[in-house]
Amino acid sequence: MMLPARFSLILNMTSVEIRSEIEKVLDQVPENTLIDVLSFLNELKTKSADDVRLAANLKKILSEDRELLKKLAK
């Protein structure tokens, strides 16, 4: 499976570079949502890598199949 260029670039970043990019994004996040971001990050600290990966995969499936899920719900 071929990853988009953006993902291969991210995979090659150092943790310092990733933290820097996160800070840039956080500077653009509306102030009233920062507490949600902080809560999410604190939740991640208590999860195993497998749990985080599983949740991310589920989110991806749900977002990619949104229309199908809506049809099935009817």
- What DSSP designation does 65 have? T
Angstrom distance (rounded) from CA 37 to CA 34: 5
pLDDT in tens, 25-64: 999 999 899 999 899 889 888 989 898 888 888 888 888 8
Report which of residues 68 and 9 the model is more confident about: 68
- In the chain, DSSP finds a helix count (H) and a strand count (E) of 5, 0
